[in-house]
């Protein structure tokens, strides 16, 4: 697990909402800080993975990170007879916001997939936008054309995800393919044929720690939800409904997933205004075992100044 300056267990609370059980990370605000930040994590993740990022955000105010259904070990929508559609994710997040913040103002930040869900929520529930004092996208996206994969790779990923979003293939993946030895073998083969920045480590012990954490992530995320949401990402088009908020976007300089020009074009078509900050970092997201120190460069100085202001 990532090594951080705080003991994460002290800040994790149980979460029960809409008939589903999960967890919530809650870091109280530092002295004299009034800002409240709701952070929505990305795709291949858990509370453990984003704790370092939450520690960085905690410098600017109180931080709340809820699990998403089917992610981070939270029960999936399938448990209550629903599917992990984008509408259902947006409804879940809106319910959490209304329960947690009621009439209070708050800062809303989303990483990658998390920002996709945030955008859909704000489009469906414009009254929530009125409570947001600052909206932050960290490597977020709003349209399938934001991806910069080659068409062949794009379609391969999309149809593979579609296959494993079904019950029987997902069961095979969960009980056979996602066993520890097979995941380790998969990463070993992947390293042999391509460079994987996520697994770069100072030594073999650190590399093993990262792969062990990757195993945890693959096993704690519900495979049907993971793949179903992947298909949604590859069909995404959130254009057509305006959100009356400016968005402050953190663009990764050499993002291997997204075309930053297209991301900006699509966000400008949805939001009232757009401001971009470049993060000089080598990967789309922090390492799977990122500490607060590792995650800090993903908040550029311009955004840090905004967060430091009184909300």
Query: What are the tens digits of pLDDT across the range 12-44?
Result: 999 999 999 999 999 999 999 999 999 999 988
For the record, the structure tokens of 230 come out as 């992947």
Cα three-residue angle 111-114-116, rounded to 5 degrees:
110
Give the pLDDT score at 108: 99
CA 163/CA 166 separation, integer angstroms: 6
Give the pLDDT score at 29: 95
Backbone phi, then psi, for 281, in 5-degree steps? -130, 155
Counting Cβ atoms within 10 Å, is residue 125 exposed (0-12), middle (13-18) or buried (19+)? middle
In this predicted structure, which of 72-81, 154-163, 184-193, 208-217 has the lowest mean pLDDT?
Answer: 184-193
Q: Where are the domains of the chain?
A: 8-148+236-308, 153-229
CA 241/CA 261 separation, integer angstroms: 20
CA distances from 83 to 65, 77, 87, 120, 278 (A): 22, 6, 10, 16, 36
CA distances from 62 to 1, 54, 128, 180, 296 (A): 23, 9, 19, 36, 17
Query: For the whole model, what pTM was predicted?
Result: 0.92
Spatial contact of 299 and 56, defined as CB atoms under 8 Å apart: yes
How far is CA 10 from its chain centroid?
A: 22
**Does 184 have pLDDT greater than 50?**
yes
Which whole number is the average pLDDT over 288-305?
A: 84
Which whole number is the average pLDDT over 91-116?
A: 96
Q: Is 63 helix (H, G, I), strand (E, B) or coil?
A: strand
For the record, the structure tokens of 247 come out as 């968005």
CA 22/CA 66 separation, integer angstroms: 8
CA 278/CA 300 separation, integer angstroms: 7
Query: Greater confidence, 105 or 206?
Result: 105
Which whole number is the average pLDDT over 294-299?
A: 86
Q: Which residues pair with 40 in a beta bridge?
A: 110
99, containing H or E segment: helix 86-101
Strand runs (DSSP E) across 52-146, as ranges?
A: 62-66, 106-111, 132-138
The CATH code that applies to domain 8-148+236-308 is 3.40.50.1820
Backbone phi, then psi, for 84, in 5-degree steps? -80, 60
Give the pLDDT score at 193: 59
Q: Is 47 helix (H, G, I), strand (E, B) or coil?
A: helix
Please give the share of the chain, as a percent, with pLDDT higher than 90. Answer: 70
Residues 6+ apart with CB under 8 A from 177: none
Give the pLDDT score at 298: 87
**Does 202 have pLDDT greater than 70?**
no
């Amino acid at each position: 697990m990532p090594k951080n300056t705080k003991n994460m267990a002290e800040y994790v609370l149980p979460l029960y909402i809409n008939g589903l059980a999960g967890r919530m990370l809650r870091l109280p605000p530092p002295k004299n800080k009034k800002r409240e930040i709701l952070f929505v994590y990305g795709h291949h993740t858990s509370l453990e993975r984003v704790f370092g990022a939450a520690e960085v955000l905690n410098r600017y105010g109180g931080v709340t990170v809820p699990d998403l259904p089917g992610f981070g070990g939270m029960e999936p929508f399938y448990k209550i007879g629903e599917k992990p559609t984008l509408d259902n994710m947006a409804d879940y997040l809106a319910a959490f916001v209304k329960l947690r913040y009621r009439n209070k103002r708050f800062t809303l930040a989303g990483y990658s997939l998390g920002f996709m869900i945030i955008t859909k929520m704000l489009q469906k529930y414009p009254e929530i936008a009125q409570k947001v004092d600052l909206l932050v996208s960290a490597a977020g996206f709003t349209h399938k054309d934001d991806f910069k994969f080659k068409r062949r790779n794009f379609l391969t990923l999309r149809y593979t995800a579609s296959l494993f979003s079904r019950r029987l293939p997902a069961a095979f993946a969960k009980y056979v393919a996602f066993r520890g030895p097979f995941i380790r073998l998969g990463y070993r083969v992947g390293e042999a044929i391509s460079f994987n920045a996520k697994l770069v480590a100072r030594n073999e012990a650190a590399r093993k720690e990262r792969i062990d954490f990757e195993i945890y992530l693959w096993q704690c995320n519900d495979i049907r939800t993971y793949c179903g949401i992947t298909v949604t990402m590859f069909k995404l088009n959130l254009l057509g409904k305006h959100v009356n908020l400016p968005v402050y976007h953190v663009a990764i300089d050499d993002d291997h997933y997204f075309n930053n020009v297209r991301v900006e074009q699509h966000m400008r078509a949805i939001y009232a205004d757009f401001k971009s900050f470049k993060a000089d970092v080598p990967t789309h997201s922090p390492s799977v075992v990122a500490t607060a120190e590792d995650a800090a460069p993903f908040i550029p100085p311009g955004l840090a100044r905004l967060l430091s202001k009184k909300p």
